[in-house]
Amino acid sequence: MLDLAIIGGGPAGLTAGLYATRGGLQNVIMYEKGLPGGQITQSSEVENYPGVCEIVTGMELMECWPKQAMRFGLRHEMQEVVRVGKCQDTFLITLANGEVQKAKSVIVATGSTPKRAGFEGEDEFFGKGVSTCATCDGFFYKNKEVAVLGGGDTALEEALFLSNIAKKVYLIHRRDKFRAAPSTVKRVKDNPKIELILNATIKKAYGDAMGLQGVIVEQDGKEIDLKVPGIFVFVGMHVNNEVLKQEDGSFLCEVNEWGEVVVDLRMRTSVPGLFAAGDVRSDASKQVVCAAGDGATAAISAISYIEDLGEDFRLC
Ligand SMILES: Cc1cc2nc3c(=O)[nH]c(=O)nc-3n(C[C@H](O)[C@H](O)[C@H](O)COP(=O)(O)OP(=O)(O)OC[C@H]3O[C@@H](n4cnc5c(N)ncnc54)[C@H](O)[C@@H]3O)c2cc1C
């Protein structure tokens, strides 16, 4: 029986693992379906992590987090968790390989994933010109023209990154104002390689078997044919709450109308012993520093939950 199972190895899960093991929990596994680090490893520019004064890539930022977290005994299993259930006081963690692991407490830190925008051809050309990761795919467009869709911090930062590689970047946004930090907006507006296409949406993506050839943009009732081989979509995030879905379709704990796991200030969910941290929880600021803080809080709460478990713990 595990003291604590952590699901997800991004900033929230890694920090939870560090605090839980350094705080004395002996038997802690962090399940991460890929390499630890989380979605920030896809970012090409991070300039807002406190204490890191240079602009770094997400990969650079996360490089030593797993090493630090494992120093105090955290174990990492590269496994996908399919479901978290509860039987009596025992949590049952079902893994994709069919195994079921028992745990006294659980921290869900499964994060979020980029949403698709929903235009025609987006799914057809995903991975063949349509991308949600400039760091991963930007280099394919060296000295070519590309488009970026979105108006938040991520869209603007990735447009800036792409402007260092591509010949030209079209930034398409459905409003005339951006929801990004003023310093980032200024850098975008001052960049001669970025052309803004505002009050505009993408109607469809087109191409052939070789990949994307362009997108049709709608602006003020007119259509613009942008002949770009690459379009990068940054239009918000989907909350990864699937592990909490039970066989009857209900959620193990309370989630809000956006599917975010409802927590209190100690990261406690509506189910005793179950905690949530990072992008997956309600009212998350969806930032690395906040996810890390949540992970620490959730681990401290898990430690006191386990300390308070009495003799009458009901094993399943
Ligand atoms: C392109 C981009 C740029 C960004 N730029 C910034 C920035 O400049 N500054 C900033 O502060 N934030 C930035 N963010 C946001 C930041 O990355 C997130 O807020 C942060 O990573 C959230 O951490 P997390 O641990 O909650 O979740 P995540 O980082 O999403 O990690 C969750 C982890 O859980 C794993 N997982 C999910 N489901 C399962 C499962 N069922 N079983 C096992 N493992 C699972 C995933 O593989 C993933 O590794 C950016 C995000 C993106 C995509």
Once rounded to an integer, what is the mean pLDDT over residues 68-84? Answer: 97
Active site residue 87: no
Q: Is 253 a catalytic residue?
A: no
Domains and CATH numbers, the chain: 2-114+237-308 (3.50.50.60), 130-233 (3.50.50.60)
Instruction: Please give the structure tokens belonging to residue 44.
Output: 């090409």
The CA 45 to ligand 1 mean position distance, Å, reads 14
Q: Is the CB of 12 under 6 A from ligand 1?
A: yes
Q: Report pLDDT for 210.
A: 92
Q: Residues 127-142: what's their mean pLDDT?
A: 90
The structure's pTM equals 0.87
Q: Is 10 in the pocket of ligand 1 (CB under 6 A)?
A: yes
Q: How confident is the model at residue 283 (pLDDT cuts 50, 70, 90)?
A: very high
Decide whether any atom of ligand 1 lies within 6 Å of the 240 Cβ. yes
Best mutation site among 39, 238, 244 for ligand 1 pocket (most ligand atoms within 8 Å of CB) = 39
Mean pLDDT for all residues in the chain: 95
pLDDT at 315: 87
284 lines ligand 1 (CB under 6 A): no
pLDDT at residue 43, rounded to an integer:
84
The residue whose C-alpha atom lies closest to atom 37 belonging to ligand 1 is: 110
Q: Write the pLDDT tens digit of every residue in 230-273.
A: 999 999 989 999 999 999 999 999 999 999 999 999 999 999 99
pLDDT of residue 135: 80
pLDDT for the residue 136: 81
User: Which of 53, 89, 123, 133 is an active site residue?
Assistant: 133
More confident residue, 133 or 84: 84
pLDDT of residue 285: 87
> Is 64 one of the catalytic residues?
no
